[in-house]
Amino acid sequence: MGEERIGFCLTASAAWRHRDWLPLATAVRRGVIHRGFLLHPEDRASIRAPSVFIVPLGLFMKDMQDWILNRRTMRTAREAVWRINRERLAACAAHR
C-alpha cells in the first residue's frame, strides 16, 4: 500500500479566507501532500481547491477516521460537505 501525505492547517477565525487554505493548495499542487484539511471553529464546510477540504474542527475530530480513510475522493468529500451544510441550514431554520 502506498504512502499518503496529508496536510493540516488550523485557524481560530470563524471567517476563513483565501490565505488560510492557500498553503494547502500550493502543497497539493507541488506534490508535497496529497490532501489538505483546513480546520476551523465554524459549523460550515467547503472544498476550495482540488483535494483541499475546509471542515469544522469538531466534526473532523468526531469523524477523523472517516475523513482520513474513507473520504479520499472528491465525490465522497463533496457528499460530506453537502450533508454538513444541509444540516447547518436545517438547524438555522429550526431556530427561526
Domain boundaries, the chain: 6-94
Mean pLDDT across 18-34: 93
Report pLDDT for 30.
96
Q: Retrieve residue 29's grid coordinates.
A: 499542487
DSSP per-residue codes, the chain: -----EEEEE---SS--HHHHHHHHHHHHTTS-SEEEEEESSS--EEEETTEEEEEHHHHHHTHHIIIII--SHHHHHHHHHHHHHHHHHHHHHT-
Give the tens place of pLDDT for each residue, 43-62: 888 888 888 999 999 888 98
User: Can you tell me the mean pLDDT for 31-49?
Assistant: 90
Distance (Å, whole) CA 31 – CA 25: 10
Interval 7-16: pLDDT, tens: 999 998 878 8
More confident of the two residues 82 and 74: 82
| pTM over the 0.85 mark | no
Beta bridge partners of residue 39, listed in sequence order: 10, 55
Query: Does residue 88 have a pLDDT over 70?
Result: yes
